[in-house]
Amino acid sequence: MPRFKLTIEYDGSRYRGWQFQREAATIMGKLMDAVKEVYKISDYELYGAGRTDAGVHALGQVAHLDIDSAMPPYIAMERLNEVLPSSINILEMVKVSPRFHARYDAKHRSYVYHISRRRTAFGKDYSWWVKEPLNVAAMADVTHHFVGMKDYKSFGAPEKEGESTLVKIDHLKIFEVDDSILIHIIGSHFLWKQVRRMVGTLAQVGMGKLTENDIDMFFREYSTLPAKFTAPPSGLYLERIYYAGDALNEEPSWLINIHKH
């Protein structure tokens, strides 16, 4: 059966995450509805590179679609986008090898988190307004503690009980753009809520409520504190999925300018 790779962007603010749920609106569910409407086929498989939680957005989620159809992918993409809600958009659709797997072939994943320094009329669903002043230099000074292969058991949980909590973070950098603070993270994979807890912890450092020693302790001993600092989903964006041969881009391809004003 032919396999197609889909690159998808979406506004996750009104969805219960990526994964299909019978009783709730999800990104995957809306894509499945569109596939059925466009292809008039019920025998297909759609598989995402990773799950995003309720309220989390994507600039470059990847999925593969197995479907027995001769419809050219550029026509299929156009028709799918016509029936998808405006909050979900397929950026690219290409035929790939049947051996390609959106999730298992992924080498790295990158996220961007958007913190706003000010109240904004347009950003509630797309950023986290931190009312207290943040010392970005202090936040940047502790980022090295997160980089490398580390045990992130204090920051998240694996999808399945008993799985490893070791995660390799390749890149973590903080950018300031006008009234926005952008935290860019690239890693091998991520545990459930890991990125949001990392961001929340960094914010606590920026507020002067945590020290570098506290960060070091979270990696040396299990702690439930990072869970209490979990940043809201509204500011989180799955930026890109990397596959073999892709060069890591350490400058975030940030597309949120309309939300900063």
Catalytic residues: 53
Residue 2 has phi, psi (to 5 degrees) of -60, 145
Output the six-digit token pair for 125.
Answer: 């669903």
Q: Give the residues across from 61 on adjacent strands.
A: 8
- Asked if 135 and 208 count as a contact pair (C-beta separation under 8 A), the reply is yes
**CA 41 distance to own-chain centroid:** 30
Q: Which residues contact 258 (CB under 8 A, 6 or more apart)?
A: 122
Continuous segment of H or E residues that includes residue 136: helix 136-141
DSSP H helices, 194-258, are 194-206, 212-220, 225-228
Position 33, amino acid: D
Provide, for the chain, the percentages of residues in helix, strand and coil under a 3-state DSSP scheme, each rounded to the nearest 5: 25, 30, 45
